[in-house]
Amino acid sequence: MKKNYTLFVIISIGIMISGVANAQWALQTNPLGSGESAMVGKIQFVSATEGWINASHNGSLLHTLNGGTTWNIVTPFSEDVDGGMSDPAVAMSWVSPTHGWALKSFISGTGDITTNSNGAVLYGTTDGGSSWTKTILPKTIETVSYSLADLQGNWQFHAITAKNPDLTKTSSIAGWMYGSGTIDASGNCSLSIIRSSGTRSIELPMLISSRGKITINGDEVGFMSADKSTVIFTGDEDNDGYSLYVLQRVTGATYTTSDLQGGWQMHSLSVGKTAGENSGWAHALLTADASGNFSGSLVSVGGTNTINTTATIASNGEITNLSSISTTAHGFISADKKTFFLTMTGLNSDYNLAVFQKNETATYSLADLQGIWQMHKLAADDEMMRLHMQVGNVEN
CATH 2.40.128.30 fits 257-358, yes or no: no
Strand 188-195 versus strand 198-208 pairing type: antiparallel
- pLDDT tens digits in sequence order for the chain, 396 residues long: 344 444 443 443 333 334 444 557 777 777 777 765 567 777 899 999 999 988 866 678 899 999 888 889 898 888 777 766 556 567 888 999 999 998 887 776 544 455 565 677 889 999 999 999 988 877 665 568 999 999 999 999 999 998 888 778 878 888 999 999 999 999 999 999 999 888 989 999 999 999 899 999 767 789 999 999 999 999 888 778 889 999 999 999 999 999 999 999 999 999 987 766 778 899 999 999 999 999 999 999 889 999 999 999 999 999 999 999 998 999 999 999 999 999 999 888 899 999 999 997 778 888 788 777 888 888 776 544 555 555 544 444
CA-CA distance, 92 to 62, in Å (whole number)? 12
The model's pTM:
0.65
CA-CA distance, 337 to 354, in Å (whole number)? 16
Residue 87 dihedral angles phi and psi, to the nearest 5°: 70, 95
Query: 148-251+367-372+383-391 has which CATH code?
Result: 2.40.128
Fold agreement between 148-251+367-372+383-391 and 257-358: yes
Q: Where are the domains of the chain?
A: 7-137, 148-251+367-372+383-391, 257-358
82 with 35: CB under 8 angstroms?
A: no
- Give the DSSP per-residue string, 130-192: SS-EEEEE----------GGGT-EEEEEEEEEEPP--TT-TT---EEEEEEEEE-TT-EEEEE
Helix (H, G, I), strand (E, B), or coil: what is residue 366? helix
